[in-house]
Chains A and B, each alone.
Chain A
């Protein structure tokens, strides 16, 4: 079975803090994705990566950056957290056409 894990289920940070969200997959997938989910808006793509050190902007990259130094790990970075980044963050990986999701991180920025 594909396993995608995220470093925290719940996280509370203060405005202006630098925040790291980590995602690890164990199936040697090429592609990895970061989404945020907000009520009424569904899932929106922040960034994705199709190879180590490669990244592509999604629909809402502003205020975020990513890092992929190893194939199995994809990090989402909030350089200076703001209250409007309070959300559910979901990581996914895929090999070919089918995406598999981690359990999500619910981030609250105070």
Chain B
């Protein structure tokens, strides 16, 4: 069946540290997005990245579609980076499947 797995499930970082979050998926994807859910529950778009590499400030993402994984890099982490990070993929059509997320806590 369809599987979207994220690792690690939980992560605690000291402010200023770097981290890598991983998303593995079970089949070829048409679409892949990374989201950050803030403490108020709002899902914020980080990247739309079905393949290749993108960067936005301290965040970057890479998707290797042929090997069925995507990575989200956070550099020089800040307390405002805390929250849950979700990977969402679509295999065909418009239906997205979400991983169970990585809960990140950045401590000062």
Contact = CB atoms under 8 A, between A and B. Distances in A.
Interface of A: 31, 33, 35, 40-45, 48, 50, 56, 58, 88, 90, 92, 94, 97-101, 103-104, 106
Contact of B42 (A35, A42, A94, A103): A103
Given A94-B94, A98-B48, A104 B33 contact: no
A99 B96 contact: yes
A42 B86 contact: yes
Interface string B80-95: 0000001010100011
B31 A88 contact: no
B6 to A, nearest CB: 9
Interface of B: 30-31, 33, 35, 40-43, 45, 48, 50, 86, 88, 90, 94-101
A88 B101 CA distance: 15
Contacts of B94: 31, 48, 50, 94
Nearest to A2: B45
B41 A97 contact: no
A104 B45 contact: no
B3 to A, nearest CB: 12
A14 to B, nearest CB: 23
Contacts of B101: 42
